[in-house]
Amino acid sequence: MADTFQAPRGTRDILAPESERWHVLVARFAHAARQAGYRPVIPPMFEDLAVFQRVGESTDVVRKEMFLLEARDGDARQALRPEQTASVCRMFAQHRPATPWKVFYSGSNFRYERPQKGRYRQFDQVGAEVLGTDDPDVDVEIIALAWRFFEQIGLRQVSLQLNSLGDGEGRANYLASLREYFGVHVGALSAQSRETLSINPLRVLDSKRPEDGEIVAGAPRMVDHLSPQDRAHFDGVRAGLDALHIPYELTPRLVRGLDYYTRTTFEFASAALDAAQNAVGGGGRYDGLVADLGGPGVAGVGFALGVDRILLACDAEETFGPPPSAVDVFVVSTVAGTDALELTAELRAAGIGADRAFDSRSMKSQMKAADRSGARLALIVGSQELESGNVMLRPLRADTHQQLVPRVEVVARVRAALDATES
RNA sequence: GUGGUCGUAGCUCAGCUCGGUUAGAGCGCCAGGUUGUGGCCCUGGAGGUCGGGGGUUCAAGUCCCCUCGGUCACCCCA
């Protein structure tokens, strides 16, 4: 007996109609991004491990979730991408495009972690980045692009959380005061948070453990330690969001999981999803990353949105269903010969969506298939039609009668019938 | 990586507590009722190594152990 196989852990097969929503979602995002002057980039699925290590040696993504590739010569250190921002920055450092460089992308990322609903080892993101300017208006444009996209696909329960992590001296001062504060209260922290503290004190702020709640709530806040320049930048971002009427919540505890973030950080959370996996997207500014990857010292800002989670949120909000069938006409034939073959090909060549049955099934069976196809019209060829040089045009979604039409006029008659039933 | 929980037709689930003829239902699929017509209805059919392996027993879907997978929480993130 043959062995049976299943999709690897943390991956899944996406079949229609889910796969159809998926494609439409990505296409809608691409359209929105292109309308805002962003152009697509297609980075490789894997990179030198060192590229991803720049997202932060202290992050879980780098420390334990990397999909390493075993090279034939045994010493090439490469890994499947856990995200695409690092690749985009590497692309910039390599090709030095003119700035501002506005790009978008979509595709799979890989993280080796314990799967859950809405969290997979292979997961898809769409994202956009702007490199080469630190104008706060760009932060606003980036956030607005994601925000309008959520609106466009019908999500109403998404909220924007906003924070600034500062940079340079202000950031260093803040980290010092944070270490001091947690140092005093280390005994009251959970064991896990104590460990996190030694790796990256910032991330303790992100703890969801109840016993940490009080300590975290009383911790010093980055927004109180911003340098005058970073304060001005943050004020600029807020003013821009206000001008566009995009509501946001200031979330001082929002630190995000990647170490490269500076100044503006943000996250989109869906109230329609369970709390643990409610982030449908996030991003921020990363002004030092391109330089870390051997490029010029240019600023950058961007976001990534999780395709799987957006669709889960759409399910929860009952919006963005699968697209209607692309099949307009279903050809039914009970005669031997190439009539069904030719009719179907002729319709398709004329730009009319057409499908048919195979295996010489009974008319009843073929009509069932026609019904299921979602087509609005059935085109029936039987012996009577064949002899008289006609085909039977039968509406499937309307109460109007079927009619005989001359075979030679079929494309024009089908087109007229489709136009008539357009709603 | 840690802990909980679940796994029986393609799908959703009964049966397991208390081991005992050929493992069921609904939906879906196929065919017929209707020798030229889908949806509604009726009838029939196909489809299962009860996730996999081992153990206990005269006997295991049912009890025990291991394992794989889903799911939930933590960690972290999309």
* pLDDT tens, residue by residue, A262-272: 999 999 999 98
Domains of chain A: 18-167+227-317 (3.30.930.10), 329-421 (3.40.50.800)
ipTM above 0.90, yes or no: no
Does the pLDDT of residue A155 top 80, yes or no? yes
CB-proximal positions of chain B, under 7 Å? 1-3, 29-32, 34, 36-39, 49, 68-78
Return the closest nucleotide (C1') to the Cα of A1: B49
* Average confidence score pLDDT of chain A: 91
Using 50, 70 and 90 to split pLDDT, how confident is the model at A2?
very low
Does the pLDDT of residue A177 top 60, yes or no? yes
Provide mean pLDDT across the span A370-376. Answer: 95
Q: Which helix (H) or strand (E) holds A355?
A: strand A354-356
Say how many C-beta atoms besides its own lie within 10 A of residue A66's C-beta. 19
φ/ψ of A110, rounded to 5, equals: -135, 125
- Looking at residue A202, its pLDDT comes to 85
* Burial environment of residue A116 by CB neighbours within 10 A (0 to 12, 13 to 18, 19 or more): exposed
- Looking at residue A3, its pLDDT comes to 61
Tell me which residue of A386, A395, A402 sits closest to A333, measured CA to CA. A386
CA–CA distances in Å: residue A36 to residues A51, A73, A103, A244, A299: 29, 44, 10, 15, 19
- DSSP letters, A265-326, are EEEEEETTS-GGG-EEEEEEE-TTHHHHTTS----EEEEEEEHHHHHHHHHHHT-S-PPPPS
Q: Starting from the edge strand earliest in sequence, which strands make up the sheet with A46-48, in order?
A: A46-48, A77-80, A68-70
Return the closest nucleotide (C1') to the Cα of A212: B74
Closest residue to B74 (CA, C1′):
A209
Q: Produce one character per residue of A195-231: b if its CB has 16 or more CB atoms within 10 Å, e if not.
A: ebbeebbbbbbbbeeeebeebbeebbebbebbbeebb
Query: And the tokens for A309?
Result: 């989670």
Tell me which residue of A90, A95, A88 sits closest to A38, measured CA to CA. A88
Lowest mean pLDDT among A2-16, A271-285, A386-400: A2-16
How many angstroms is C1' of B55 away from CA of A68? 39
Return the closest nucleotide (C1') to the Cα of A275: B73
The C-alpha torsion from A84 through A30 and A254 to A212, rounded to 10°, is: -80
The C-alpha torsion from A278 through A281 and A287 to A292, rounded to 10°, is: 90
Does the pLDDT of residue A342 top 80, yes or no? yes
How many angstroms is C1' of B72 away from CA of A281? 22
Query: And the tokens for A397?
Result: 């979604």
CA–CA distances in Å: residue A5 to residues A2, A8, A114, A122: 9, 9, 20, 18
Query: And the tokens for A129?
Result: 């980045």
